[in-house]
Structure 1
């Protein structure tokens, strides 16, 4: 301090202070004007980058402006090497903190936009809080290491120790971390969202909640099924909610003594019955095979709705129409039967008469 006072007179301090105040005033005036104009411009655009820039500029704090002003002002002062080193470290620390605040504001603005984009989708933004937490932990950890390195702390050993400790912790809680990152993957990739009806292995149900560790399904029978997120992503998932149309294949058979003309007539009836339905697209209907106990027909059609109840209503109407039409045409449905023909059966042996040696071989009298 004495060296600072001895090397500079009051005119030097006044000039340095005036320059620092001038720089701070210019930053506030120009920055405020730029911020106001950019904010008005951002209100009339559909893009998000300008909103993020406004949020970042609003994150500017007074210590940053003060340090910038002082950095310019001290150039007109005679400072000792020690004083310059101390001031430089303090200035860099403030700049790093301001950069961290800008990055945090940008992250917060991105999360706000992410929530808005996903809110229109059921279950959208489920893990936005988790994304924000992980992002802030990573962000402030990185800037903290930069500050410690600027202050002269040897961060190599610290980073190595944190790495070893992190590996130990990760091994201890690997299942929890697996479920946590699986939850993050579900939130970003969205193989399903809340309200979807999914099948996981042998389990079926509607998605009720997607948590950090587990996902909860409401089964058809009423109970709740809880599945770990990591196990869920390792399984084969069928999402019925995203079905655009349902493909239906069913077969029926008629008896063998049906005349060929009626067999051909049955195929035409099936095409007319299925193809004439609303919300149905007929693929094919054919006399497909001569089975063991029936002349078989195969019908393939699409229900133009993913709703299961709609499919059952259509299938019921088709079944009733087929039953009515086949009875009107005198076409009988087949049922599994087997005809056994017995040929060349050997005659029964003649019965032995009384008095033969075989019959009188034993005489108790």
Structure 2
């Protein structure tokens, strides 16, 4: 009460009216500037197509009238005679509010830039969108750290000693959060090294699916059954990853066995039949066909060809068509496929029995 009485006695009515006018004028001026500036830069952006106009508009929309109340109070206090302690408190409150407002403006600007760049990157470079998200996170973190340190310096804290203490404490924090940091660095490795990107079909151990999102800590994969698989980034990089999205063609190797009773002249033509069956299909490249070996129950032929697509369904359609063509050709030529058989010879007799 004595402090209030002292302040009242030190200032006359005119001083208080001037202070009141300043206190009201500052928020009103900010409100008008925010509204007029947003409309002006929005119109400028529409007319010129320049993105920075939208950025300024977005920044102005982040203006908080509540934060300008302590700033207005400090401006009003300059017209009054106040004790040193009250003046110091008003100044610190105004500085804190101003720094917080600057941080909000910076946060809005970073957010606008990030949304703009990510929208472009998603159409051209999906993994670039993830990289931009991490860059945006880092930029926001640095912004707030800078603002907090600046505020602490204004409040009289020894920033040098504080940073030295944080250096020691940082070691303890790093040990406590080593798993989180491991996942963070793993996500950076995924983004920079690009073993896969969003949209790729990958197989991790016995799990497979399409990559939906690469985050700061986890990677999300949509399985073929529709389940959402969530992998820790560090665990994912420690696994063997098969990326089928990067292939441009699929190599196929298979064997065909025919019975030993096949006539010699037909055995010599089988490799040509196999080649024709492969080359008759579009999107294939024949490599080779050979009479490989004498099997236990069959004459074994080995065929190698390539399907010139990474699409699995197309690959299976081509393989099915080739298999049907081979089956039809062998049936037409009177060549029988072999299957495991056993022939029993009865001692002292002429009877033989064959069992499959």
- Matches of 2:176 and 2:278 in 1, distance apart? 60
Query: Which residue matches 1:38?
Result: 41
Paired residues for 1:16-95 under 5 Å: 32-42=35-45, 48-62=51-65, 67=71, 92-95=95-98
C-alpha distance 193-251 of structure 1, shift in aligned 2 (>3 A): same
Root mean square deviation of aligned Cα: 5.5
How many residues are matched? 327
Asked if the contact 1:285/1:297 (under 8 Å) is kept, the reply is: no
- Matches of 1:240 and 1:233 in 2, distance apart? 16
- For residue 158 of structure 1, report the CA deviation from its aligned partner: 1.8
- For residue 222 of structure 1, report the CA deviation from its aligned partner: 10
Asked if the contact 1:274/1:301 (under 8 Å) is kept, the reply is: no
Asked if the contact 2:218/2:232 (under 8 Å) is kept, the reply is: yes
- For residue 209 of structure 1, report the CA deviation from its aligned partner: 7.6
| Deviations 1:152-177, CA, capped at 9 Å, x for gaps | 21022222222322321221231233
- Matches of 1:58 and 1:285 in 2, distance apart? 65
Asked if the contact 2:271/2:301 (under 8 Å) is kept, the reply is: no
**Does 2:192 correspond to 1:157?**
no
- For residue 320 of structure 1, report the CA deviation from its aligned partner: 2.1
- For residue 285 of structure 1, report the CA deviation from its aligned partner: 4.2
**Does 2:254 correspond to 1:250?**
yes
In the alignment, structure 2 segments of 5+ residues that lack a partner are 342-356
Deviates more, 1:112-121 or 1:136-145: 112-121
- Matches of 1:65 and 1:53 in 2, distance apart? 23
C-alpha distance 319-112 of structure 1, shift in aligned 2 (>3 A): same
- Matches of 1:234 and 1:192 in 2, distance apart? 17
Query: Which residue matches 1:301?
Result: 306
- For residue 85 of structure 1, report the CA deviation from its aligned partner: 7.9
Query: Which residue matches 1:286?
Result: 288
- Matches of 1:198 and 1:324 in 2, distance apart? 36
- For residue 14 of structure 1, report the CA deviation from its aligned partner: 9.4
- For residue 110 of structure 1, report the CA deviation from its aligned partner: 4.0
| Deviations 1:179-224, CA, capped at 9 Å, x for gaps | 3554576689692447x54212x32322588677555667779999
C-alpha distance 159-226 of structure 1, shift in aligned 2 (>3 A): same
Out of 302, 312, 317, the position equivalent to 2:316 is 312
Deviates more, 1:35-44 or 1:57-66: 57-66
Asked if the contact 2:255/2:300 (under 8 Å) is kept, the reply is: no
Q: Secondary structure at the match of 1:144?
A: helix
In the alignment, structure 1 segments of 5+ residues that lack a partner are 338-365
Query: Which residue matches 2:349?
Result: none
- Matches of 1:61 and 1:244 in 2, distance apart? 54
C-alpha distance 228-19 of structure 1, shift in aligned 2 (>3 A): closer
| TM-score between both structures, scaled by the size of structure 2 | 0.63
C-alpha distance 45-79 of structure 1, shift in aligned 2 (>3 A): same
Asked if the contact 1:208/1:218 (under 8 Å) is kept, the reply is: yes
Q: Secondary structure at the match of 1:206?
A: strand
- Matches of 1:100 and 1:285 in 2, distance apart? 64
| Deviations 1:25-60, CA, capped at 9 Å, x for gaps | 877666643421211344578775433221112223
- For residue 300 of structure 1, report the CA deviation from its aligned partner: 1.1
Query: Which residue matches 1:105?
Result: 108
Out of 272, 276, 281, the position equivalent to 1:272 is 276
Q: Secondary structure at the match of 1:198?
A: strand
Query: Which residue matches 1:166?
Result: 170
- For residue 311 of structure 1, report the CA deviation from its aligned partner: 2.5
Asked if the contact 1:258/1:331 (under 8 Å) is kept, the reply is: no
- Matches of 1:24 and 1:178 in 2, distance apart? 47
- For residue 329 of structure 1, report the CA deviation from its aligned partner: 3.5
- Matches of 2:93 and 2:165 in 1, distance apart? 27
